[in-house]
Amino acid sequence: MSPPVVLTACVFIGVVLLLIGEARGEARLSALSKPFASLAFTGLAVSLGALDGVYGQAVIAAFVLSLFGDIALLSKAPAAFKGGLGAFFLAHLAFIAGFVGLGPSLPVTLGTAAGMAVLAVITLRWLWPHVSADMRAPVVLYVVVVSAMVATAAGTLDPVLGVAALAFAVSDVSVARDRFIKRVFTNRLWGLPLYYGAQVVFAWSVATRAG
């Protein structure tokens, strides 16, 4: 099998092991499998030529930041969560830079941004009573940047990128629910596959845009 196929398989193996670790409360398995899966999608992008083009380099930057975020979110400590949120905030900025470099359609980007703004308000109203005062500003900023990421992805007119970006955003809802409302395995059961699936799609997207 080719390296990209092997690395794609590694991502999904890592996710399965991660879900097993989360379901059983085996912190060590989660701590090993989560970075493994994240390193695998980063390696996947590299194997597909990400370093050879500006778009791919933006994706790699986003992936490295996501890796730091994934590791930080393994901890339940508030400081680690803030660090993870910051890393993913920067990752979304990197994705936005990559999508902007593809020359997104302004009308589609703005139209999607309007729709995402409505969803953002709904999400924030749902979360607000459960978010501590010191986390409210970071959460608002994060929701804004995620919405912008989805809008610019949709603006590329590549439906695969648009769906992947939306999947990433929806996966963040599972993280928010787990952290702020109720920590249960079902949040991770659907959120983690969405997140890693989106990252795999982003990794494969560099294949046609390398160089």
> Could you report the per-residue pLDDT of 41-53, keeping only the tens digit for each?
999 999 999 999 9
| pLDDT score of 208 | 82
Spatial neighbors of 160 by CB under 8 A, at least 6 apart, are 201, 205
Residue 1 above 90 pLDDT?
A: no
For the chain, give every domain's residue range: 3-205
Spatial neighbors of 107 by CB under 8 A, at least 6 apart, are none
- Which token pair is 25? 């409360």
Residue 211 above 70 pLDDT?
A: no
> Could you report the per-residue pLDDT of 127-176, keeping only the tens digit for each?
999 999 999 999 999 999 999 999 999 999 999 999 999 999 999 999 99
Share of the chain above pLDDT 90, in %: 97
Residue 2 above 80 pLDDT?
A: yes
Global pTM reads 0.96
Burial profile 161-180: b = 16 or more Cβ within 10 angstroms, e = fewer: bbbbbbbbbbbbbbbbbbbb
> Could you report the per-residue pLDDT of 102-135, keeping only the tens digit for each?
999 999 999 999 999 999 999 999 999 999 999 9
- Which token pair is 63? 């992936």
> Could you report the per-residue pLDDT of 49-70, keeping only the tens digit for each?
999 999 999 999 999 999 999 9
Mean pLDDT for the chain?
Answer: 97
